[in-house]
Amino acid sequence: MHTPPLAVRHTPLVAVYGTLKRGLRNHHWLDGADFLGGDRLTSATLYDLGPYPAAKLEPSQGIEVEVFRVDARLLAGLDRLEDYRVRTPREGDYDRLVHTTTFGPAWLYLYNRPVAGYPVIREGAWLPR
């Protein structure tokens, strides 16, 4: 796995693509974060798991994300929600890696579990059912 420079590893930005987006059920986890805007990432593909999506590090035509500036407390909360384990990131449900956005480098949570058989979203946004 590529280790980004120290300044990037401490980016205050996070890009969200599912239930953390504005108006959706987990957005309250971002209360106090600054919304910077929307963007499209071509470095990830989404899978529709039903109640939430999963992102995989696979090229796409552009998945829609929202980018927020967060502090360490909010990022720690997101890590708990996504079952990201700092010391063993491949063992939790999600890992997080830095991706380039219009607003600068941002964390993106990537799903660690298999996604075979789930609907693929290579362009656009995941929509809750």
Q: Active-site residue numbers? A: 82
For the sheet with 45-48, list strands across it: 53-56, 45-48, 120-121
C-alpha 50/C-alpha 122 separation (Å) is 16
Please tell me what DSSP assigns to residue 28. G
104 close to 10: Cβ distance less than 8 angstroms: no
Q: b or e along 40-64 (b: 16 or more beta carbons within 10 Å of the residue's beta carbon)?
A: ebebbbbbbeeebbbbbeeebeebb
Element (H, E) at 36: strand 34-41
